[in-house]
Chains A and B, each alone.
Chain A
Amino acid sequence: MAGHATTHVDAATAWGGKTSPFNVSYGKLMMWFFLVSDALTFGGLLVAYGYTRHTTQSAWPIGEETFDSLPFLGHGYPLMYVALMTFILIVSSVTMVLAVEAGHRMDKKGVMKWMIATIIGGFFFLGSQAWEWSHFIHGSHFGSVEILSGEHTGSRAIVKGHFGDLESFTVVQAGKHHKVGDVIKETPDELFHHFRTAVMNGQVKDGKITLHDGSVATWKKHNDEHMELIIKTDGTGHSLSKVTKIHGKDAEAKYWESVNSGKKGAIIYGADLKSNEYGPSQYGQFFFFITGFHGFHVFSGVVINILIFLGVARGTYHKRGHYEMVEKTGLYWHFVDLVWVFVFTFFYLV
Chain B
Amino acid sequence: MERDDIIEYSLDAHHSEEQGKKVRRKIWLVTAILTVITAFEVAVGAMVHQDNPMWWVVKLLFIGLTLLKAGYIVLVFMHLGDERKVLKYCILVPYFIFIIYLIFIALTEANAVHTAWETYGG
Residues of A that sit less than 8 Å from B by CB: 1-7, 14, 17-26, 28-29, 32, 36, 39-40, 43-44, 47-48, 50-57, 62-64, 78-80, 82-83, 86-87, 90-91, 93-94, 96-98, 101-102, 104-106, 235, 237-243, 321-324, 327, 330-331, 334-335, 337-338, 341-342, 344-345, 348-350
Contacts and interface: CB of A to CB of B under 8 A. Distances in A.
Interface residues of B, number: 72
A36 B34 contact: no
Interface string B29-73: 011001100110110011001110101100100110110011001
B13 A324 contact: yes
Contacts of A1: 15, 19, 23, 79, 82
Contacts of A50: 103, 106-107, 110
A79 B46 CA distance: 8
Given A6-B12, A24-B7, A54-B113, 6 more contacts: A2-B12, A17-B5, A50-B110, A55-B113, A334-B74, A344-B38
Given A93-B73, A101-B23, A105-B16, A51 B87 contact: no
Closest 9 CB pairs of A and B: A54-B110, A322-B13, A345-B66, A22-B87, A83-B42, A55-B113, A51-B110, A2-B82, A51-B106
A321 B13 contact: yes
Contacts, number: 217
B27 A97 contact: yes
A166 to B, nearest CB: 31
A239 B50 contact: yes
Nearest to A9: B84
Interface string B12-30: 1111110110011001101
Given A24-B11, A24-B83, A36-B94, A349 B109 contact: no
A27 B105 CA distance: 34
A337 B73 CA distance: 8
A101 B82 CA distance: 14
B99 interface: yes
A52 B50 CA distance: 18
Contact of A40 (B19, B66, B98, B106): B98
B99 A23 contact: no
A6 B122 CA distance: 62
A23 B95 contact: no
B49 A25 contact: no
Given A6-B11, A57-B122, A51 B109 contact: yes
Nearest to A321: B13
18 contacts: A2-B12, A26-B7, A28-B10, A36-B91, A36-B95, A40-B95, A40-B99, A54-B110, A63-B45, A97-B27, A101-B24, A105-B16, A239-B59, A322-B13, A338-B78, A345-B41, A349-B41, A350-B59
B69 A341 contact: yes
Contacts of A22: 83-84, 86-87, 90
A47 B74 contact: no
B50 A55 contact: no
A56 B110 CA distance: 9
A240 B50 contact: yes
Contacts of A47: 99, 102-103, 106-107
B118 A23 contact: no
